[in-house]
């Protein structure tokens, strides 16, 4: 069962809003990449680190797409302050980004509910 770096089994998680934001962002960037350079949207697809195949502009574009979609859904997300950016020698996959984004969205939801 695939797990992310936060040790949460992905098979135990339903397709979430965060997962859809990440998958849609990748799909939008894939649509403008040259043939053969598109990456998968599955949980194990590597976006950052030694195993990544995307260039920095494509990763930046994916992050921007995620932030824009999150904002449209009512969330404030700063992908460029995410902790996985501090570990460039470690592969970061779709599952890692989804787990982090899910936590960010849940924190904001909880804060809104507490207010």
Strands 92-93 and 46-48: antiparallel
Residues 80-90 have pLDDT tens digits of: 999 988 988 99
Per-residue model confidence (pLDDT) at position 15 = 58
Residues 43-58 have pLDDT tens digits of: 999 999 999 999 999 9
Residues 91-103 have pLDDT tens digits of: 999 999 999 999 9
Asked if residue 20 lies in contact with residue 27, where contact means CB atoms within 8 angstroms, the answer is no
10 Å CB burial of residue 29 (0-12, 13-18, 19+) is buried
What are the residue ranges spanned by the domains of the chain?
Answer: 15-33+41-114
The two tokens of residue 5 are 């770096």
Of 55, 86, 73, whose CA–CA distance to 112 is shortest? 73
Query: Quick check: 1 pLDDT over 70?
Result: no
- The share of the chain scoring above pLDDT 70, in percent, equals 87
The two tokens of residue 32 are 């403008």
Range 30-44 average pLDDT: 92
Q: Where are the beta strands (DSSP E) in the chain?
A: 46-48, 92-93
Neighbours of 82 (CB within 10 A): 18
């Amino acid at each position: 069962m695939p797990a992310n770096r936060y040790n949460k089994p992905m098979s135990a998680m339903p397709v979430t809003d965060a997962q859809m934001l990440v998958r849609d962002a990748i799909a939008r960037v894939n649509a403008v990449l040259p043939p053969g350079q598109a990456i998968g949207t599955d949980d194990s697809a590597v976006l950052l680190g030694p195993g990544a195949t995307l260039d920095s502009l494509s990763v930046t574009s994916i992050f921007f797409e995620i932030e824009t979609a999150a904002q449209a859904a009512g969330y404030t997300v700063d992908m460029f302050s995410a902790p996985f950016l501090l570990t460039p020698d470690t592969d970061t996959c779709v599952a890692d980004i989804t787990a982090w984004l899910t936590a960010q969205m849940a924190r904001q939801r909880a804060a809104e509910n507490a207010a």
